[in-house]
Amino acid sequence: MAIIEVKNLSYKYSKKKHALDDISFKVEKGEFVSIVGHNGSGKSTLGKLLCGLLSTSKGEIIIDGITLSDETIDSIRQKIGIVFQNPDNQFVGVTVKNDIAFGLENRSLDVDEMEARIKKYSKLVQMEDFLDKNPENLSGGQKQRVAIASVLALETDILIFDEATSMIDPQGVLEVTNAIKGLKADKTIIYITHNLEEVLMGDRVIVLEKGKIVLDDKVDEAFKREDILANSKLELLKQTKLINLIEENGLNRKEEVEKIIWQSAYQR
Ligand SMILES: Nc1ncnc2c1ncn2[C@@H]1O[C@H](COP(=O)(O)OP(=O)(O)OP(=O)(O)O)[C@@H](O)[C@H]1O
Ligand SMILES: [Mg+2]
């Protein structure tokens, strides 16, 4: 059974324009699905709808067999964690430790378990030395690391990352995303990004354009749809550029070279 099912979902902030326009998809338990698309295509709106921060204008969201509604929202929130695009929107504590603890407080955990999770997840994002610092005084990338730790600490089955690593340095992105990947086996991950390199971590990719799904396929297949990816203003992968160069130069055995290049790219 799919852990997430979205049926004919639409959303409008105002009367005029659809932010999401009749989209449908399913996500299986344990799947890692990236969502890409240019600015304003509806990615963050989808993330907020999935975790019940916005209520659906039309259509249905079913999480783990339960239809999202005012009555079920509390139990569904126990299953989903979201890291927002702007980390400043999610700090509540006066220290990093407080902040990670805050989300855990209404989950009736004992003190030892809480301490253990704070330690584990702050370490995972390499922020264990900042636990007593005020989150407001951290750099953008450090704030994003703390925001990720706070959500990971909830240990929800489904995790949504909305451009959650956009301010983290390239080496740090690798470390943090590897840590996220380490959770892959039992977690279902929705990973919103503008970076196709990060899409390589996942199983599948959904491309949104003006609130509609224009591509939903396995990562390997999706990367063959250069037209759609380029249309979404995404920077093509260096592998794609290399393959195009090979093609332009009319080298022989193109298929074999292409296969080797892609094999070197996938990180899963
Ligand atoms: N709070 C809001 N009020 C009114 N319109 C909004 C609001 N938030 C988003 N929109 C509109 O809804 C559409 C989708 O926005 P959304 O934030 O979901 O896009 P996005 O794909 O996340 O973009 P980005 O890549 O810039 O983060 C856009 O046209 C945007 O202008
Ligand atoms: Mg967004």
In this structure, the residue with its CA closest to atom 5 of ligand 1 is 13
In this structure, the residue with its CA closest to atom 30 of ligand 1 is 40
26 C-alpha to ligand 2 centroid (Å): 21
83 C-alpha to ligand 2 centroid (Å): 11
Q: Where are the domains of the chain?
A: 1-79+156-232, 94-152, 237-268
194 C-alpha to ligand 2 centroid (Å): 10
User: Phi, psi (5° rounding) for residue 127?
Assistant: -120, 20
Other C-beta atoms lying within 10 Å of the C-beta of residue 200: 20
CA 106 remoteness from chain centre: 24
- pLDDT at residue 103, rounded to an integer: 85
- pLDDT at residue 171, rounded to an integer: 85
Kindly state if the Cβ of 85 falls inside 6 Å of ligand 1: yes
Kindly state if the Cβ of 19 falls inside 6 Å of ligand 1: yes
Given a contact cutoff of 8 angstroms between Cβ atoms, the answer to whether 133 and 139 are in contact is: no
Cα 99 to Cα 70, 81, 105, 247: the distances in Å are: 27, 15, 10, 52
- pLDDT at residue 88, rounded to an integer: 77
| 243 vs 265: CA distance, rounded Å | 12
- pLDDT at residue 85, rounded to an integer: 86
Given a contact cutoff of 8 angstroms between Cβ atoms, the answer to whether 29 and 188 are in contact is: yes
| 82 vs 95: CA distance, rounded Å | 20
| 36 vs 163: CA distance, rounded Å | 10
- pLDDT at residue 239, rounded to an integer: 79
- pLDDT at residue 179, rounded to an integer: 83
Relative to beta strand 2-12, strand 58-63 is antiparallel
Kindly state if the Cβ of 45 falls inside 6 Å of ligand 1: yes
In this structure, the residue with its CA closest to atom 16 of ligand 1 is 42
Cα 196 to Cα 72, 192, 207, 230, 240: the distances in Å are: 35, 10, 11, 11, 11
- Tell me the average confidence (pLDDT) per consecutive run of 10 residues in the chain, 268 residues long: 95 92 96 94 97 92 96 93 84 88 85 94 94 92 93 93 91 83 80 89 94 95 86 78 75 75 72
| 247 vs 259: CA distance, rounded Å | 13
137 C-alpha to ligand 2 centroid (Å): 24
Which residues partner with 67 through β-bridges? 62
Query: Residue written as tokens 């969201």?
Result: 61
| 111 vs 101: CA distance, rounded Å | 10
- pLDDT at residue 214, rounded to an integer: 96
Kindly state if the Cβ of 43 falls inside 6 Å of ligand 1: yes
pTM: 0.89
Q: Which residues of 147-171 are buried (b: 16+ CB within 10 A; e: fewer)?
A: bbbbbbbbbbbbbbbbbbbbbbeee
Kindly state if the Cβ of 35 falls inside 6 Å of ligand 1: no
Query: What topology is assigned to 1-79+156-232 in CATH?
Result: Rossmann fold (3.40.50)
Kindly state if the Cβ of 195 falls inside 6 Å of ligand 1: no
- pLDDT at residue 154, rounded to an integer: 92
In this structure, the residue with its CA closest to atom 4 of ligand 1 is 13
Kindly state if the Cβ of 41 falls inside 6 Å of ligand 1: yes
CA 219 remoteness from chain centre: 15
- pLDDT one-digit tens code per residue, 198-223: 898 889 999 999 999 999 999 989 98
Give the 3-state secondary structure of residue 87.
Answer: helix
Residue 161 is classified by DSSP as E
Residue 156 is classified by DSSP as -
- pLDDT at residue 132, rounded to an integer: 96
